[in-house]
Amino acid sequence: MTVAAIFNLNHASHTVHWHFFSMSVSNIVVIVVMLVVFALAIIAPFPRGGGHEGPT
């Protein structure tokens, strides 16, 4: 039984270089997706109970 990757992983990685900073494109994509999910979690309103005001 052979297990094959969906993408061809037999090549050099693509990296982004900026002065002293170097990171692979796949890691940058993962970080951007995590930041978008975090921003949506902060912006999205919390569910509220219908008419329940809490203890008086």
Mean of the pLDDT values across residues 8-34?
A: 87
pLDDT band at residue 17 under the 50/70/90 scheme: confident
Angle at CA of residue 11, ends 5 and 16, nearest 5°: 110
**According to the model, what pLDDT value does residue 18 have?**
85
Classify 52 in phi/psi space as left (phi over 0), alpha (psi -120 to 50) or beta.
beta
28 vs 53, residue with greater confidence: 28
Name which of 28, 4, 6, 24 is nearest 15 in CA terms.
Answer: 24
**Which residue is associated with the tokens 């990757």?**
5
Per-residue pLDDT tens over the stretch 25-44:
888 999 999 999 999 999 98
Q: How confident is the model at residue 55 (pLDDT cuts 50, 70, 90)?
A: low
Count of beta carbons in the 10 Å neighbourhood of residue 32: 10
